[in-house]
Amino acid sequence: MKLHEVRSLANAALVATALVSLTGTVARADGEVNIYSYRQPFLIQPLLDAFTTETGVKTNVIYAADGLDERIAAEGANSPADVLLSVDIGRLDGAKQLGITQPVTSDVVNANIPATYRDPEGHWVGLTMRARVVYASKDRVEQDSITYEELADPKWKGRICTRSGQHVYNIGLIASMLAHHGAEETEKWLAGVRDNLARKPSGNDRSQVQGIFSGECDISLGNTYYMGAMLTNEKETEQKDWANSAKILFPNATDRGAHVNISGVVLAKNAPNRDNAVKLIEFLSTPKAQQIYAEANHEYPLDPAVAPSELVKSWGELKADTLSLDEIARNRKAASELVDRVGFDEGPAS
């Protein structure tokens, strides 16, 4: 059995054990809300504490790295899940397509979250935003601006690192390129980026910054919040050295802007505590909650009236691509097929 299969089975077992407890004790209870979360507990606990303080509603959380969508689907009408917290439009839209969500109808949410970051039918709601940017070596890259299109320029041959093209973060970016340029041009572009890679795609976004620090590559793709996480990491201090070796370049700042994605929430189809679930979603959309989220996770608030943290501000101004996330979601399947067609994850062709 492969390692990733062992990990998946272990995660599934942990989730199943936790859910037996959850379904047996708090599936339906006055003054409570049940949260399934792909976001780690320490990232969301400050928000949940503030929600309980303000409303008196207790929160019960199940965390897992994967498998929660499928678990909700398998539980069906007996699912204790009220909401699912997730990241990336692909995962949020995936929950909708799996049929485990119901629309959120709320004037509060509609007032707080711009329509661009909400499902047109109400099945998912964005909470915070991150940009897919270019990390660049401070020592070896002089330029302070870049475009996604430029990543295919031969001048970057052997100088780019990235994680798998099939990871949801890269699929979102490729889907946005499809929306802007069409299939033929995007395929040429992706093949060009592939041939500029320093190695086969591997690791996570932090690994790419480590590659810049070690000199393995000069630029890489990554989400903005990883830089914040590395710079404030008190347990693994070497990550600060990695982060301090790189600068953030916001792609396409002079034209359409940088590709952005979201963290978000869905209302479970069979939520046993629906009213409390809507209260939670409404609270998470408020400026107060977005400020807490932004400070804890180094992400951008979706409410334009709420300022990013001082650390995030220090990276420069983000001009966000206004392309609808719903359109990005529609292009995800084609993006995934394109990654395989050009053999992106096999690394440079020559």
- Binding site, annotated residues for Fe cation: 225-226
DSSP state of 320: B
10 Å CB burial of residue 301 (0-12, 13-18, 19+) is: buried
Rg (the chain; Cα; Å): 20
CB atoms within 10 A of CB 191: 17
Q: Which of 130, 79, 19 is CA-nearest to residue 266?
A: 79
317: left (phi over 0), alpha (psi -120 to 50) or beta: beta
The answer to whether residues 70 and 12 touch, using CB atoms and an 8 Å cutoff, is no
Q: Which parts are annotated binding residues?
A: 225-226
Give the angle subtended at the CA of 116 by the CAs of 305 and 166, to the nearest 5°.
115
Question: Could you count the other beta carbons within 10 Å of the beta carbon of residue 184?
Answer: 8
DSSP helix, strand, coil percent of the chain (3-state; round to 5)? 50, 15, 35
3, 11 Cβ separation under 8 angstroms = no
Nearest to 116 by CA among 327, 317, 291: 327
